[in-house]
Amino acid sequence: MAPTEETRHAGPQTPLPGPTPPTPPPSGTDAEPSARMPRWLPRAMVLALALVGALQLGTWAFHQVIGLLINILIAFFLALAVEPAVSRMAARGMRRGLATFLVFFGLLIAFAGFFTLLGSILAGQIIKMIEGFPQYLDSVINWINTSFNTDLRRVDIQEGLLHSDWLRKYAQNSAAGVLDISTQVLGGLFQLLTIALFSFYFAADGPRLRRALCSILPPARQAEVLRAWEIAVDKTGGYLYSRGLMALISGAAHYVLLLFLGIPYAPVLAVWVGVVSQFIPTIGTYLAGALPMLIAFTVNPWYALWVLIFVVVYQQFENYVLQPKLTSKTVDIHPAVAFGSVIAGTALLGAVGALISIPAVATLQAFLGAYVKRYDVTDDPRVHGHRRRGEGPNPLARARRLWTRAQERTAGPGAGRGRT
């Protein structure tokens, strides 16, 4: 039937029953903005990648220069140690650079002469020990034959050692490790040269360095920086004084032992033990005790054992009794703080941290102490750990209450109701 004029302009008709056809997606550009990537996301991704790359680069650079930073830190504390002597010479009219050179030259001459004397003594004792080694070997063989009823001969032992695979492998490994040892020695010399140069510049240009640092700070901060610098000089000097005093005590104690045992070169060995054990951290004690033990072994092997026992016992006495008390008096920090600072410094920076931890903590404590407000403490016996009479719980009353509570807990709640 053909549509009429009325049906052509009629409204929407009711859909026929049945399944609804799917709605077609909207045409045009209305759906494009929701499907696009947000504009801030690429920038955020680039920024995150840049931050990660900068962090990785900074970590790599820090690990590359950590050795240089530690050398600069050692040089700075060494410059603080020689600052009083350099300033005293400069105050008398001498140029600061020349005064610094004279101080470092005097230290170099003293150390060079000391180690040269020790080297000559050590070389002579090693030659003596090598020449007397057959006699030591014969005495050991005779003791073994007498004690265990064996029939050992020195010639058989020497031939067995010369033709053994262990000796051949040890010689090969030693020859291969010569290059590594030479590299380590050269690296150590370069490190010492770096520390010496930086410490010389810090000491010679101390006023210029302080002026350059204060020029970027306001006047109030300048006074604080100069005060901290002065405190660091005083505390470092006190620390070196305490180390020198402990070196003197250690040298005197070991000198008495070596003189009692009849060990040759006792004064020089005592000075060696005192200086090395106090100014070389971590391994200084072992290096200091090895040389007297070697010399004592050339005299009598039992003397070397006595020296070892004395070194171990004295080291414990020094670590737990002598060092904390001397450090607390010269550097003005508590013995427990000194001991803890050494442990923390060793954990953070190894041997360098053990060497500079005490003056660093003392400087920080003295500097921060000026900004902590303190009050007068009342005269109360409890401050000294004493209680007044009549205060605190009576022991008998407290025991009676505890017994009553235990009885009530054992009887239970039903017992109380039965009594009522």
Q: What is the pLDDT of the chain when averaged over all its residues?
A: 77
H-assigned helices in 92-218: 96-131, 133-148, 154-162, 165-176, 178-204, 206-214
Secondary structure tally for the chain: helices H, strands E: 18, 0
Most confident of 72-86, 138-152, 179-193, 221-235: 72-86
In the structure encoding, which two tokens stand for residue 45, read together? 């991704």
Q: What is the mean pLDDT of residues 74-102?
A: 88
pLDDT tens figures, 265-286: 788 888 888 888 887 755 677 7
Q: What is the mean pLDDT of residues 341-361?
A: 76
What DSSP assignment string belongs to 348-376? Answer: HHTHHHHHHHHHHHHHHHHHHHTTS---P
Q: What is the mean pLDDT of residues 153-178?
A: 68
Q: Residue 419 carries which side chain, given as an amino acid letter? A: R
Under the banding of pLDDT at 50, 70 and 90, the label for residue 56 is very high
pLDDT higher at 105 or 392? 105
pLDDT higher at 230 or 352? 230
Under the banding of pLDDT at 50, 70 and 90, the label for residue 31 is very low
> Is residue 35 predicted with pLDDT exceeding 70?
no
Rounded Cα distance between 95 and 79, Å, is: 16
> Is residue 160 predicted with pLDDT exceeding 80?
no
Q: Residue 272 carries which side chain, given as an amino acid letter? A: W
| Amino acid 396: pLDDT | 67
The residue with tokens 């054990």 is: 277
Q: What is the pTM of this model?
A: 0.61
pLDDT tens figures, 318-335: 877 887 777 777 776 776
In the structure encoding, which two tokens stand for residue 133, read together? 């080694």
Q: What is the mean pLDDT of residues 276-301?
A: 79
Rounded Cα distance between 318 and 324, Å, is: 8
In the structure encoding, which two tokens stand for residue 307, read together? 């020296």
| Amino acid 23: pLDDT | 56
> Is residue 51 predicted with pLDDT exceeding 90?
yes
| Amino acid 309: pLDDT | 92
